[in-house]
Amino acid sequence: MERENAWKKYTDKEMSELNMLCEEYKIFLDEGKTERMCLKLAVKMAEAAGYVKLDDVIKAGKKLKKGDKVYNVCMEKTIALFEIGDMPLEEGINILGAHIDSPRMDIKQNPLYEDADFAYLDTHYYGGIKKYQWVTLPLAIHGVVAFTDGTVKEVHIGDDEEDPVFCISDLLIHLSSEQLEKKANKVIDGEGLDLLCGSMPLKGEEKNAVKANCLKLLEEKYGMKEEDFMSAELEVVPAGKARDLGFDRSMVIAYGQDDRVCAFTSLYAMLKVTDVKKTTCTLLVDKEEIGSVGATGMQSKFFENTVAELIELTGDYSELKLKRCLKNSSMLSSDVSAGFDPLYSSAFDKKNAAMFGQGMVFNKFTGARGKSGSNDANAEYVARVRGILEGNNVSYQTAELGKVDIGGGGTIAYILSLYGMEVIDCGVAVLSMHAPWEITSKADIYETEKGYEAFLKEA
């Protein structure tokens, strides 16, 4: 079953819209390289569109009515946005849910050491990565340092053109005969992902003078002492901006497109759609790459608690109303799919692979091998969503995540489905997923944003 390449159908007006959307998307990627940065940017965009803090509504003793727009934040890493519709919340919510964490390296709590007049920072990788891909790249550090007096300072080093960058070194080819005999997952060990951060000794220091110089610079810039690493969250990501890819500029290459491409398109659609019949929601959550655990992951009670507050602010709360609301909701789990790569075609069933340029991708199920760990969407729900997309001229396709016995993956879909709501995975196809630099099609980004808009309005 062939799907038409979406590029073939665009008018000049649509091409202009597509390019404008993707320019905004690249800015979003550049300014949102970590979940904290992404959250901060989402709040800024939401407030500019008229959204207000849910806590402020509660403190003011106000009620919510049709057209009101609110957002709620959890620990500066997760956000839920809502626009109140005509219909009672008991009749459900139309939900888009994406994650804003991405594979990376986190700096350990006791990280700084010196060896052979080099200073290093120990790291612990986060999420599924091919460790060998992270060596010899210019890397940046983003995050926060929390001090015992209650102050918190942001740290951003490596993405400004005047900044230094960091790197993980590799063994030169002339001496690597033994290294090259290892399996790919052993070429670089996790404990070998140490960040090179200095080589200049501090004058007057006899021992660990390079480390001492790094600490001196950190104290001058951030007021930070070595023990402050214990209460820091510092993430190591590729340095550099999102760029157009190809002679024709038809693709985007950037860090963190899994899953910020779906986070951006979900948020953009949410802020664009107004005057809704059914209450709409966009969730941007943390910790998906490590199982959606913790207070900021989808498995927490944050979303459920927020919906309970909405029910109270639009009427009288009851547990039964909350359960009805969640059961009657419809969700698109906005997450990426593996784009078909002809250079690695043996990993895919081409008939059931996500093709670049053919629009937003639906994965009826994810999971591994025998659909282990999957949410498997109902045929009736798939048909309903298809009808919405076709009625709005949205290009879409269906796919599986590679050949049946090769592997697989999961999303937040199964967690929301536990409430009994209808959920299906859909988003943008990605090449080189989980690599430091990932690739997407501008046409797929455009079609996915259109699809999310149509779903919020009509589901």
141 and 67 fall within a common domain: no
Query: What is residue 403's predicted lDDT score, i.e. its pLDDT?
Result: 86
Does residue 317 share a domain with residue 192?
Answer: no
Task: Quote the pLDDT of residue 377.
Answer: 87
Read off the pLDDT of residues 117-148 as tens digits, 9 standing for 90 and up. 999 999 999 999 999 999 999 999 999 999 99
Task: List, in order, residues 6 or more apart from 161 with CB less than 8 Å away.
Answer: none
Burial-class residue 121 by CB neighbours within 10 Å (0-12, 13-18, 19+). buried
Q: What is the pLDDT of residue 206?
A: 84
Domain identity same for 346 and 431: yes
Residue 431: strand, helix, or coil: strand
Segments of the chain with pLDDT less than 70: none
pLDDT at position 398, please? 94
Same domain for 143 and 84, yes or no, is no
Per-residue pLDDT, 96: 98
Residue 86 lies in a domain: yes
d(CA 84, CA 441): 33
pLDDT, residue 93, reads: 98
User: Same structural domain for residues 82 and 226?
Assistant: no
> Based on the domain organization, do 177 and 319 belong to the same domain?
no
Report if residue 142 sits inside a domain.
Answer: yes
Question: Do 346 and 316 lie in a common domain?
Answer: yes
User: Last residue of a domain, which of 210, 238, 266?
Assistant: 238
Number of structural domains the chain divides into? 2
Alpha-carbon distance of 411 to 71, in angstroms, equals: 23
- Whether residue 248 is contained in a domain is answered as no
Q: Which pLDDT does position 447 carry in this prediction?
A: 98
State how far the Cα of 387 lies from the Cα of 451, in Å rounded to an integer: 11
Place of tokens 């994810």: 366
Pairing, β 438-441 against β 396-398: unpaired
Quick: pLDDT tens for 45-91: 999 999 999 999 999 999 999 999 999 999 999 999 999 999 999 99
CA distance 396 to 50: 31
For residues 291 and 388, state if they share a domain: yes
Residue 42 CA to residue 296 CA, distance in Å, equals 16
The residue behind tokens 């779903």 is: 455
Mean pLDDT of the chain: 95
Same domain, residue pair 95 and 110: no
CATH number reported for the structural domain that contains residue 161 in this entry: 2.30.250.10
Copy the structure tokens of residue 354: 């996500």
Same domain, 169 and 200: yes
* Domain that residue 164 falls in: 104-238
How many Cβ atoms from other residues are within 10 Å of residue 161's Cβ?
Answer: 5
Output the CA–CA distances (angstroms, integers) from residue 381 to 378, 385, 397, in the order listed.
Answer: 5, 6, 15
